[in-house]
Amino acid sequence: MIKKLVPCVGEYKKHAILTPIVMIGEVIMEISIPFVMAQIIDKGIQGDGGISYTVKMGLLMVLMALVSLMFGALGGRLAAVAGMGFAKNVRKTLFDKIQEFSFSNIDKFSTASLVTRLTTDVTNTQNAFMMLIRMAARAPIMLIGATAMAISINTKLAMIFLIAIPVLGCALFFIIKNAHPRFEAMLAKYDKMNANVQENLIGIRVVKAFVREEQEKKKFELGADEVRRAQVFAEKLVILNMPLMQLCMYGCIVAVLWFGGNMVVDGTFAIGQLSSFISYVTQILMSLMMLSMIFIMTIISRASVTRIVEVLDEEIDITEPESTLSVEDGSIEFKDVSFSYSKDPEKTALDHINLSIKSGETIGIIGGTGSSKTSLVQLIPRLYDVLSGELKVGGHNVKDYDLTTLRNSVAMVLQKNVLFSGTIRENLLWGDENATEEEIVAACKAACAHDFIMSFPDGYETDLGQGGVNVSGGQKQRLCIARALLKKPKIVILDDSTSAVDTATDSNIRRAFRENLKGTTTIIIAQRITSVSDADRIIVMDDGKIDAFGTHEELMRTNQIYQEVYESQQKGDK
């Protein structure tokens, strides 16, 4: 799983490899220093070396410390470059991958979860990575080095480690093994609590309107308490770490002092050696501690890594061919097309659709909630792939086009549409970044947006704010239509795109379409009969099937559903 992220080290490989190497330099110095310290005590202060020896060794120690400092600082810098560079690459890889996602890939992950993966999860991974390259080499080398030094000072005394290290190792292993599932459980509870908060943020008006604040508070308290319990449950293992290490370290020191002291008394061990041996005891156990912390960090970040890799491993289900084919005209043909969101032939949203639309026709689509109107049109710009059958646009199978070519020719205004922060003009330029002023104004006029845009003090330069918060729902829809028109597409699809626009404006938009978009195939999904009644032909959808296809007059004569819809909207009119 971790392997998946290795390529993200990329151009920082040099730094990532150099970091532990430089760290080795620091560790060597760090291990040697207690040795020099022992020399100072034994030969300088205590022995016959005198002050000159002490000064000499002292200066040597200062020099070593400076070298160690240099290595340490260099290592710190390298680790920062490698760690942050790695994070940058992970973020970029993730973002790029999500850009490749098809609609069904996007459906699978929620927006919130994608955002968390790109932010919090990347941060966790980055911290773990930086620590890993700084400490992973350091800790074992320090462990080995310090042990070797201790052995070289006094082999017999070093036997104490043979007991201490396995004991501590076993204890740490036990902690880590048990902590992992507990941390996962904690994170799950945490997610649940945050979901609860999010729900309240989105639905705050409902909560307040139904006076459910107290109930929501209780619910949240329950969730927060669960998190608290889970955190205690998980961390109570981790906090064992410190006292355990202390116990081992103190045990070792006491044992070293006793046995070593006896050796000193026997005259086989110098006092300075004894104190530097104790320094090594500290170093050895510290490095073990570091190792255990690396493991714990890895456990915590493992959940994040899994979530990142999940996105990277997601299979893109729409692939595009190398193709120079361009869309000739706006004709559309469905040949026995079936479609399912879950790719399950048992659960189809569209069932054996046959349909032929001529280039330049205006087609209305009417149907009840859940009758798969949106599913039908989403297949045309290949936002989803058909399950079976064939869909042709401009005489060729949609799968034969380059996706960019196809989607630039098929402009779709989504039901749930989004504007981006920036000015109105910047948003419109999404449709065509080279559009001239005249083209922009023409598109906005066709979408009945020009007048309200000009009513703003800043006109086309009005800043929309994040998510287009500065315009009303109906205005937003019209901007989205204008944006789509700027593509100068062969086919325009409006998926209930005027639901927040009043009837009068709606009919004006359609009139503008008729006048300005001759030759462009227009497909309009609508709830209102009046929105589709003047279309060339109207599709009546029912339960994933085409119930009827014809002109308003024909359908009024022959189709029961259409008549009912018509009736439901006319009642009480007279």
Partner 1 sequence: MAGPMKSQKPGAKPKNLVKTFSRILGYIAENKPLLIVVILGITISAGAQVAGTSMLKRVIDQYLEPMLKSYSSELMAGFLKTILLMAGIYLLGALSSYMYSRLMLMISTKSLYRIRTDLFRKMESLPIKYFDTHTHGELMSRYTNDTDAIREMLSNSVANVISSAITVTGVFTMMVIYSWQLTIVVICMLFISLNAIKFIGGRSSRYFMKQQQNIGKVNGYIEEMMEGQKVVKVFCHEEVAKDEFNQLNEALCEASTNANTYANVLMPIMGNLSHIQYAVTAIVGSILTINGILTLGTVISFLQFTRNFTQPITQISQQFNAVLTALAGAERIFELIDENPEEDHGYVTLVNAKENSDGSLTEVEDRTGIWAWKHPHKDGTTTYTRVRGAVEFDDVVFGYEDNKTILRNISLYAKPGQKIAFVGSTGAGKTTITNLINRFYDVPDGRIRYDGININKIKKPDLRRSMAMVLQDTHLFTGTIMDNIRYGKMDATEEEVLAAAKLANADSFIKHLPKGYETQITGDGANLSQGQRQLLAIARAAVADPPVLILDEATSSIDTRTEALIEKGMDSLMQGRTVFVIAHRLSTVRNSNAIMVLENGEIIERGDHNELIAQKGKYYQLYTGMFELS
One residue of 178, 298, 338, 499 binding partner 1 per CB under 8 A: 499
* Integer Cα distance of 496 and 499 in angstroms: 6
Residues 12-51 that bind partner 1 (CB under 8 A): 26, 30, 33, 37, 40-41, 44-46, 50-51
Task: With CA atoms as reference, report the closest residue to 295 among 430, 100, 128.
Answer: 128
Q: Cβ 132 to partner 1, closest distance in Å?
A: 11
* Integer Cα distance of 294 and 273 in angstroms: 31
Binding status of residue 412 toward partner 1 by CB under 8 A = yes
Q: Cβ 310 to partner 1, closest distance in Å?
A: 15
One residue of 370, 514, 516, 557 binding partner 1 per CB under 8 A: 370
Give kind and range of the element (H or E) at residue 13: helix 13-39
Q: Cβ 365 to partner 1, closest distance in Å?
A: 12
* Integer Cα distance of 368 and 55 in angstroms: 93
CA dihedral 95, 97, 102, 104 (to 10 degrees): -90
Binding status of residue 455 toward partner 1 by CB under 8 A = yes
Count of residues in contact with partner 1, rule CB under 8 A:
180
Angle at which helices 13-39 and 50-100 pack, to 10 degrees?
160
Task: With CA atoms as reference, report the closest residue to 540 among 563, 557, 561.
Answer: 561
Task: With CA atoms as reference, report the closest residue to 524 among 366, 410, 325, 356.
Answer: 366
Site track 415-454 with partner 1 (rule: CB under 8 A), x = hit? -xxx-xx--------xx-x--------------x--xx--
Which residue's CB is nearer to partner 1, number 25 or number 358? 25
Which residue's CB is nearer to partner 1, number 331 or number 371? 371
Residues 176-195 that bind partner 1 (CB under 8 A): 193-195
Binding status of residue 212 toward partner 1 by CB under 8 A = yes
Strand, coil or helix: 562: helix
* Integer Cα distance of 364 and 498 in angstroms: 13
**Interface segment toward partner 1; rule CB under 8 A; list 161-169, 354-362, 389-397, 401-409:** 401-409
Angle at which helices 13-39 and 122-135 pack, to 10 degrees?
40
- Work out the angle at residue 468's Cα, subtended by the Cα atoms of residues 464 and 472, and round it to the nearest 5 degrees: 105
One residue of 114, 165, 312, 548 binding partner 1 per CB under 8 A: 114
Binding status of residue 59 toward partner 1 by CB under 8 A = yes
Which residue's CB is nearer to partner 1, number 312 or number 335? 312
Residues 518-557 that bind partner 1 (CB under 8 A): 527-530
One residue of 16, 27, 403, 446 binding partner 1 per CB under 8 A: 403
Q: Cβ 511 to partner 1, closest distance in Å?
A: 10
One residue of 8, 35, 85, 481 binding partner 1 per CB under 8 A: 85
**Interface segment toward partner 1; rule CB under 8 A; list 96-104, 168-176, 342-350, 549-557:** 96-104
Binding status of residue 381 toward partner 1 by CB under 8 A = yes
Give DSSP secondary structure letters for 322-353.
-------S--EEEEEEEE-TTS-TTS-SEEEE
Q: Cβ 526 to partner 1, closest distance in Å?
A: 10
Q: Cβ 207 to partner 1, closest distance in Å?
A: 7
Q: Are 82 and 127 in contact (CB under 8 A)?
A: no
- Identify the bridge partners of residue 391 per DSSP, sorted by sequence position: 334
Binding status of residue 174 toward partner 1 by CB under 8 A = no
Q: Cβ 12 to partner 1, closest distance in Å?
A: 10
Question: Which DSSP state fits 543?
Answer: T
**Interface segment toward partner 1; rule CB under 8 A; list 116-124, 143-151, 340-348, 456-464:** 116-124
Give kind and range of the element (H or E) at residue 257: helix 241-266
* Integer Cα distance of 145 and 24 in angstroms: 10
